[in-house]
Amino acid sequence: MESVIINPPRVIPRRPIYQSAKRLVDLILCLFSLPIAIPLLIICALAIMLDSGSPVFFIQERIGKGERRFRIYKFRTMKTKLDERESRSFMKAYVRGKIDMDKAGISTFKPVTHEQTFPVGRFLRRTSLDELPQLINVLKKEMSIVGPRPNVPWEVDEYYPWHYERLEVLPGITGQAQINGRSDISFDTIVRYDINYIEHQSLALDLKIIWNTVKSVILSKGAG
């Protein structure tokens, strides 16, 4: 059954002062994290090469603000030459709300099996270090630190009309959904978190989400 519209799609006020401040915070966080991020990037890349070979990075097309397409950067955590048909079918059903969360019995948001990943990849996923290369996307202004997580085109194709409201802002590395059960909530719930963020976004809320993300990563809460 198609979900009801929470709020009609609308144009978000430009709020130039907030948007400029948000961009400044993104740049400051990226630049100040470089002394830690660069060594981590090198260590992670070497670990992947030693464990699973190349490629080190996983580059995939995603849908961003205003349905703009861009390439997202992540560390590769899965084995190469995998058949993605089953995973794709599962995720399409997940976006359409056709997966029974109580009966699925697996990590619904990230339906990846143990056999599909390699040891270093599993560690990177568990610690969220696989997301670290997305600092490049932030610097390129394709993403922000905080915002809705971007979906791949074939997932967006499955959106209900009200889902598109989450595409009104830049996608993020983290967001409200990611600090409220990243791997075990329905897609409709994720979209509701995203819409709530869009309607109440502020620097205070951004900083709160970033702080809670750090705590979630440290506790490996919801990682998959």
Give per-residue pLDDT as tens, 35-56: 999 999 999 999 999 999 989 9
Q: CA-to-CA distance for 117 and 158, rounded, in angstroms?
A: 26
Please tell me the predicted confidence (pLDDT) of residue 217. Answer: 77
pLDDT of residue 3: 44
Measured between alpha carbons, how far is 65 from 18 in angstroms, rounded to an integer? 17
User: Which pLDDT tens digit goes with each residue over 71-121?
Assistant: 999 999 988 777 677 788 888 999 998 876 655 554 445 566 667 889 999
Mean pLDDT value across residues 122-149: 94
pLDDT at residue 13, as a whole number: 55
pTM: 0.84
Give the pLDDT of residue 77: 92
Give per-residue pLDDT as tens, 151-196.
999 999 999 999 999 999 999 999 998 888 656 788 999 999 999 9
CB 21 within 8 A of CB 202: no
Which residue has tokens 């400029």?
Answer: 20
What are the Cα distances from residue 52, in Å, to 48, 72, 131, 223? 6, 21, 18, 21
Nearest alpha-carbon partner for 155 in 94, 198, 222: 94
d(CA 201, CA 147): 9
Rounded to the nearest angstrom, the gap between the alpha carbon of residue 87 and the centroid of all alpha carbons in its chain is: 17
For residue 5, the model assigns a pLDDT of 45
Which pair of tokens denotes residue 181?
Answer: 């059960």
How sure is the predictor about 20, in pLDDT bands with cuts at 50, 70 and 90?
Answer: very high
CA distance 152 to 172: 14
Nearest 10 degrees: Cα torsion 146, 193, 154, 68: -40
Separation of alpha carbons 58 and 85, rounded Å: 18
Q: Is the pLDDT confidence value at 10 over 60?
A: no
Q: What average pLDDT does the segment 2-11 reach?
A: 48
Q: What pLDDT does residue 133 have?
A: 96
Higher local confidence (pLDDT), 94 or 216: 94
**Residue 92 structure tokens:** 């399409």
- CB crowding 133-149: b at 16 or more within 10 Å, else e: bbbbbbeeebbbbbbbb
23-51 per-residue burial string, b: 16 or more CB within 10 A, e: under 16: eebbeebeeeeeeeeeeebeebbebbeee
